[in-house]
């Protein structure tokens, strides 16, 4: 519902490219904005879900390490990953509880993540980031294509509120661009004659 709402508190942002970007303030006492981005990609929803969930190393150029800490069931796990940061910032690591669905209305898929503490998570040097919200809704939009709607609110720790206001939207646009490009490349290839 929230992913399709364009009015209630959402402020549209103009960032170069064809990724739609908006944000809104959340009244929970945490100063970070909730960001929403959307883009069309050349792959069906289940392929997109797999790329985002299990093939992060293909599209996240800052990914250093990743592994599943615990598989809870067929659609839920605890996942840990570490991302490189621009110097002088140390790397940032995250431990998230992830859940996904592939049987939503009209063939849509979703991936939802939020940070958790887990006794089996590996200790890392650097900064422990916090994923307050990371939601991906992937909807079919005809001809084997999908629309990714990504809602995100992450605390990288050690960054100013001003940095989030000026930079975080650009970071999300870059993230969706890299996911789209990775899917475009995997869909490219010789055409067959039927």
Count the helices and strands in the chain (H runs, E runs): 4, 10
* Residue 154 CA from chain centroid, whole number: 10
pLDDT tens-digit profile, the chain (194 residues): 555 555 577 888 888 678 899 999 888 888 899 999 999 999 999 999 999 999 999 999 999 999 999 999 999 999 999 998 877 778 899 999 999 999 899 999 999 999 999 999 888 788 899 999 999 999 999 889 999 999 999 998 878 888 888 889 999 999 999 999 999 855 544 444 44
Cα separation, 129 vs 92, in Å, equals 6
Cα separation, 2 vs 135, in Å, equals 10
Cα separation, 14 vs 21, in Å, equals 7
For the record, the structure tokens of 14 come out as 């103009």
Determine the pLDDT at residue 185.
Answer: 59
For the record, the structure tokens of 8 come out as 């209630």
Whether the model pTM is above 0.75: yes
Cα separation, 144 vs 140, in Å, equals 7
């Amino acid at each position: 519902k929230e992913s399709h709402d364009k009015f209630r508190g959402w402020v549209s942002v103009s960032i170069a490219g064809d990724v739609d970007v908006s944000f809104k303030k959340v009244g929970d006492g945490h100063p970070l904005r909730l960001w929403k981005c959307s883009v069309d990609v050349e792959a069906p929803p289940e392929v997109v879900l797999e790329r985002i969930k299990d093939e992060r190393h293909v599209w996240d150029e800052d990914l250093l390490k990743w592994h599943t800490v615990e598989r809870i069931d067929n659609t839920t796990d605890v996942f840990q990953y570490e991302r490189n940061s621009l110097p002088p910032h140390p790397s940032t690591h995250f431990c998230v509880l992830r859940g996904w669905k592939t049987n939503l209305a009209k063939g849509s898929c979703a991936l939802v993540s939020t940070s958790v503490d887990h006794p089996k998570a590996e200790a890392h040097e650097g900064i422990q980031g916090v994923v307050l919200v990371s939601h991906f809704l992937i909807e079919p939009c005809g001809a084997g294509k999908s629309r990714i709607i990504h809602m995100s609110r992450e605390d990288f720790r050690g960054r100013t509120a001003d940095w989030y206001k000026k930079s975080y939207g650009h970071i999300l646009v870059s993230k969706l661009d890299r996911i789209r490009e990775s899917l475009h490349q995997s869909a490219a290839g010789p055409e067959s004659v039927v």
